[in-house]
Amino acid sequence: MPKPEFDAIVIGAGSVGNPTAYFLGREGLRVLVIDELASSGQGQNKAAIGGVRATHSDPAKIRLCELSLDVYSHWKESTGTDIGWKHGGYCFPAFDETVESTLQKLLPIQKSYRLNIDWLSAEGIEHVVPGINKNGLRGGTYSPDDGQVNPLRASESFTNEARRFHAEYRYREAVTSLVMEDHTVTGVRTDQGEYHAPLVINAAGVHASRICAMAGLDIPILPDSHEGGISAPVKEFLGPLVVDLRPGPEGKTTNFYFGQDADGQIIFCYTPRSPISGENRNSTYEFMPIVAARLVEVMPRLKNLTIRRVWRGLYPMTPDGSPIVGKAPHVEGLLLGIGMCGQGFMLGPGVAMNLASLAVHGKPTIDSEVFDLLSPARDLLGGKRESLK
């Protein structure tokens, strides 16, 4: 067996791969990161609107996102780099009984995990979301400790910090197979060479199934596309990221989200009612008319907003809607940080810390029983686990 040149190889310089390289490097490991694209964050990381919240109902997502919030909110202090952290919280307003009851049912679960979230009256919501449409507003939840980050800046900064810990990045290089000895992964082959390490981490986003297949594993991660957009900056007026859970009146959308980022830009996206499978990333003609109507309906004062850019990206979806994190089943030397669905940016640092801890200390940083909820060995076809995005 060739002597390994690295302690760990990370496949994918995205929302999960970059923080993983950083935390492994911080532990003193010699890390190689390989990405088939031209630079870090060019996969789905740059498609994210940057919402980061711990207020889920799934304990594993809660604990991982608490870690991410801690990392993102202290990043400037610890590295000196501004990644656009905004401590604005999340707000889920309720305009109908169905949404109110969904949110009210979740609250005791969220509070049982000691999350800072409460029900506010309609007046309370108007206070935290100035200019929200008062018509039919019944109140809503507000979680002030959640926030937003700029995904492009975060990915660049994680890369720079990982390099400071001697991580090596190879771009425009695709992993084509895994080097294996019996059931142990000992390296990767790319379209340009072969590299060896006792540990390989699959953080390949929407292409993660292909990497799994190289180790003989059948783990379904399917791309599902979502569009987003961003306006020109306006004077700061909005703290939280706002999530409207009502189905859109046009019949094509469910959840709709928007917020104002640290640069003053309004950033927004929605969830299509019927999932759009596949890797097509061309913007559609219907996105902007639908999203503009929803924006103005929830916040009439946004009617004169100038839209600067729209895009379409992919969620790496799992059959049960939860990420797949941990040791690959039946194979040694392979860790998985895959299937992040619509929350890979907020999960990234938390997942990365746990993967690094598994690699170096043999156990996750969060409670093992909670971590195991995301186990690659779980029954993936056992049904969707969390209804709220």
Binds ligand FAD by CB under 6 A, chosen from 6, 7, 8, 17: 17
248 near ligand FAD (CB under 6 A):
no
Bridge-based pairing state of the strands 90-94 and 118-120: unpaired
240 near ligand FAD (CB under 6 A):
no
Q: Token digits for 387?
A: 């209804």
Q: Token digits for 52?
A: 């980061």
Shortest spacing between CB 136 and ligand FAD, in angstroms: 26
Shortest spacing between CB 92 and ligand FAD, in angstroms: 14
Report how far residue 131's alpha carbon sits from residue 298's, in angstroms, rounded to the nearest whole number: 9
Binds ligand FAD by CB under 6 A, chosen from 31, 47, 67, 200: 47
Cβ atoms of residues 89 and 239 within 8 Å: yes
Report how far residue 204's alpha carbon sits from residue 198's, in angstroms, rounded to the nearest whole number: 18
Q: Interface residues for ligand FAD in 321-360 (CB under 6 A)? A: 340, 342-346
3-state helix, strand, coil in the chain (%, to 5): 30, 25, 40
Shortest spacing between CB 132 and ligand FAD, in angstroms: 20
376 near ligand FAD (CB under 6 A):
no
Binds ligand FAD by CB under 6 A, chosen from 11, 167, 199, 336: 11
Binds ligand FAD by CB under 6 A, chosen from 10, 22, 44, 60: 44
43 near ligand FAD (CB under 6 A):
yes
Cβ atoms of residues 198 and 209 within 8 Å: no
Nearest to ligand FAD of 212, 302 (CB atom): 212
146 near ligand FAD (CB under 6 A):
no
Report how far residue 251's alpha carbon sits from residue 234's, in angstroms, rounded to the nearest whole number: 30
Shortest spacing between CB 373 and ligand FAD, in angstroms: 18
H or E, element range at 232: strand 222-233
Residue 286: how many other CB atoms lie within 10 Å: 13
At 13, which amino acid appears? Answer: A
Q: Which stretch binds ligand FAD (CB under 6 A): 8-16, 115-123, 135-143, 369-377?
A: 8-16
316 near ligand FAD (CB under 6 A):
yes
Nearest to ligand FAD of 137, 336 (CB atom): 336
Residue 245: how many other CB atoms lie within 10 Å: 23
36 near ligand FAD (CB under 6 A):
yes
Residue 269-298 contact track with ligand FAD, rule CB under 6 A, x = bound? x-----------------------------
48 near ligand FAD (CB under 6 A):
yes
Binds ligand FAD by CB under 6 A, chosen from 56, 61, 86, 226: 226
CA 59 to chain centre: 16
Shortest spacing between CB 213 and ligand FAD, in angstroms: 11
Shortest spacing between CB 17 and ligand FAD, in angstroms: 6
| Contacts made by residues 150-153, CB under 8 angstroms, sequence distance 24+ | 150/50, 150/83, 150/84, 150/261, 150/262, 150/263, 151/15, 151/41, 151/45, 151/46, 151/47, 151/48, 151/49, 151/50, 151/345, 152/41, 152/45, 152/46, 153/81, 153/82, 153/83, 153/84
Chain position carrying tokens 């993936």: 380
89 near ligand FAD (CB under 6 A):
no
Binds ligand FAD by CB under 6 A, chosen from 51, 88, 272, 333: 51
Binds ligand FAD by CB under 6 A, chosen from 107, 120, 152, 174: 174
Nearest to ligand FAD of 238, 314 (CB atom): 314
Residue nearest ligand FAD (C-beta atom): 14
Bridge-based pairing state of the strands 334-338 and 324-327: antiparallel
Binds ligand FAD by CB under 6 A, chosen from 6, 7, 15, 238: 15
Nearest to 68 by CA among 383, 368, 366, 293: 366
Q: Contact positions toward ligand FAD, by CB under 6 A?
A: 11-17, 34-37, 42-45, 47-51, 174-175, 203-205, 207, 226-228, 269, 313-316, 340, 342-346
